[in-house]
Amino acid sequence: MSDEHFPVPPEVIRRLAGEQGVLNVFGTISLAYLLTPSGEVLVHDDAEGVTTAATVDEREFAYVRAAARYPELQVLTPVRPPDAVDCPACRGTGSVPLENGSRVFCGTAQCNSRGWIRP
Protein backbone atom coordinates (compact mmCIF):
# COMPACT_ATOMS: atom_id res chain seq x y z
CA MET A 1 0.00 0.00 0.00
CA SER A 2 1.35 3.40 -0.87
CA ASP A 3 -0.68 5.50 1.52
CA GLU A 4 2.22 6.33 3.78
CA HIS A 5 4.54 9.26 3.53
CA PHE A 6 6.75 10.89 6.09
CA PRO A 7 7.08 14.61 5.40
CA VAL A 8 8.27 15.28 8.94
CA PRO A 9 12.01 15.70 8.41
CA PRO A 10 13.97 12.48 9.02
CA GLU A 11 16.35 14.29 11.36
CA VAL A 12 13.40 15.19 13.60
CA ILE A 13 12.28 11.56 13.68
CA ARG A 14 15.83 10.39 14.40
CA ARG A 15 16.15 12.89 17.25
CA LEU A 16 12.85 11.78 18.81
CA ALA A 17 13.76 8.13 18.34
CA GLY A 18 17.06 8.71 20.07
CA GLU A 19 15.57 10.73 22.93
CA GLN A 20 12.49 8.64 23.58
CA GLY A 21 13.08 5.32 21.82
CA VAL A 22 10.03 5.71 19.61
CA LEU A 23 9.11 4.01 16.35
CA ASN A 24 7.70 6.22 13.62
CA VAL A 25 4.62 4.31 12.51
CA PHE A 26 2.80 6.80 10.30
CA GLY A 27 2.88 10.34 9.00
CA THR A 28 0.45 12.84 7.55
CA ILE A 29 1.04 16.33 6.15
CA SER A 30 2.82 17.57 9.25
CA LEU A 31 2.14 14.92 11.88
CA ALA A 32 4.21 11.91 12.85
CA TYR A 33 2.66 9.12 14.93
CA LEU A 34 5.33 7.66 17.20
CA LEU A 35 4.99 4.40 19.11
CA THR A 36 6.84 4.23 22.41
CA PRO A 37 8.34 1.00 23.79
CA SER A 38 5.50 0.86 26.35
CA GLY A 39 2.83 1.00 23.63
CA GLU A 40 1.83 4.60 24.13
CA VAL A 41 1.59 6.86 21.09
CA LEU A 42 3.05 10.33 20.76
CA VAL A 43 1.98 12.72 18.03
CA HIS A 44 4.66 15.08 16.78
CA ASP A 45 3.26 18.18 15.05
CA ASP A 46 6.13 19.49 12.98
CA ALA A 47 4.30 22.72 12.06
CA GLU A 48 3.90 23.57 15.76
CA GLY A 49 7.12 21.93 16.86
CA VAL A 50 5.41 20.03 19.66
CA THR A 51 5.06 16.40 20.65
CA THR A 52 2.03 15.40 22.71
CA ALA A 53 0.38 12.23 23.99
CA ALA A 54 -2.14 10.85 21.50
CA THR A 55 -5.86 11.00 22.13
CA VAL A 56 -7.72 7.68 22.34
CA ASP A 57 -8.72 7.94 18.67
CA GLU A 58 -5.21 8.98 17.58
CA ARG A 59 -3.73 6.03 19.46
CA GLU A 60 -6.12 3.57 17.81
CA PHE A 61 -5.41 5.12 14.41
CA ALA A 62 -1.65 4.81 15.03
CA TYR A 63 -2.03 1.16 16.09
CA VAL A 64 -3.97 0.30 12.93
CA ARG A 65 -1.49 2.14 10.71
CA ALA A 66 1.43 0.54 12.57
CA ALA A 67 0.01 -2.92 11.97
CA ALA A 68 -0.36 -2.14 8.27
CA ARG A 69 3.33 -1.28 8.14
CA TYR A 70 4.62 -3.79 10.69
CA PRO A 71 2.43 -6.93 10.70
CA GLU A 72 3.99 -8.08 13.97
CA LEU A 73 2.21 -5.15 15.64
CA GLN A 74 -1.23 -6.52 14.67
CA VAL A 75 -1.65 -7.44 18.35
CA LEU A 76 -2.09 -3.74 19.14
CA THR A 77 -5.14 -3.28 16.92
CA PRO A 78 -8.66 -3.26 18.33
CA VAL A 79 -10.63 -6.49 18.17
CA ARG A 80 -13.59 -6.26 15.83
CA PRO A 81 -16.82 -6.81 17.78
CA PRO A 82 -19.03 -9.56 16.33
CA ASP A 83 -21.79 -7.08 15.58
CA ALA A 84 -19.55 -4.47 13.91
CA VAL A 85 -20.28 -3.67 10.29
CA ASP A 86 -17.94 -2.99 7.40
CA CYS A 87 -17.32 0.72 6.84
CA PRO A 88 -19.30 1.75 3.76
CA ALA A 89 -16.73 4.42 2.84
CA CYS A 90 -13.85 1.94 2.48
CA ARG A 91 -15.89 -1.24 2.07
CA GLY A 92 -14.17 -2.86 5.00
CA THR A 93 -10.62 -2.36 3.76
CA GLY A 94 -9.53 0.62 5.87
CA SER A 95 -8.35 2.50 2.80
CA VAL A 96 -9.89 4.24 -0.18
CA PRO A 97 -8.55 4.43 -3.75
CA LEU A 98 -7.31 7.62 -5.35
CA GLU A 99 -7.67 8.47 -9.03
CA ASN A 100 -3.97 7.74 -9.56
CA GLY A 101 -4.45 4.16 -8.37
CA SER A 102 -2.82 4.55 -4.98
CA ARG A 103 -4.77 4.23 -1.75
CA VAL A 104 -5.06 6.38 1.36
CA PHE A 105 -6.34 5.49 4.80
CA CYS A 106 -10.07 5.80 5.42
CA GLY A 107 -10.47 9.04 7.32
CA THR A 108 -14.06 8.76 8.49
CA ALA A 109 -14.32 9.20 12.25
CA GLN A 110 -16.47 6.10 12.74
CA CYS A 111 -13.97 3.90 10.88
CA ASN A 112 -10.63 5.49 11.90
CA SER A 113 -8.99 3.33 9.20
CA ARG A 114 -9.99 0.05 10.89
CA GLY A 115 -12.35 -0.92 8.06
CA TRP A 116 -15.29 -1.49 10.39
CA ILE A 117 -17.69 0.53 12.47
CA ARG A 118 -18.56 -0.16 16.09
CA PRO A 119 -22.23 -1.01 16.71
> C-beta of 45: minimal distance to Zn ion in Å?
24
> C-beta of 39: minimal distance to Zn ion in Å?
24
Q: Are 17 and 8 in contact (CB under 8 A)?
A: no
Q: Which of 36, 35, 26, 34 is nearest to 6 (CA)?
A: 26
Binding mask 4-23 for Zn ion (x = CB under 5 A): --------------------
Degrees, nearest 5: CA angle 43-35-5:
65
* Stretch in the footprint of Zn ion (CB under 5 A) among 12-20, 52-60, 64-72, 99-107: 99-107
DSSP 26-62: EE-SSEEEEE-TTS-EEEEETTTTEEEEPPHHHHHHH
- Interface with Zn ion, residue 89, by CB under 5 A: yes
In the complex with Zn ion, the residue whose CB is nearer, 12 or 89, is: 89
Query: Contact residues for Zn ion (CB under 5 A)?
Result: 87, 89-90, 106, 111
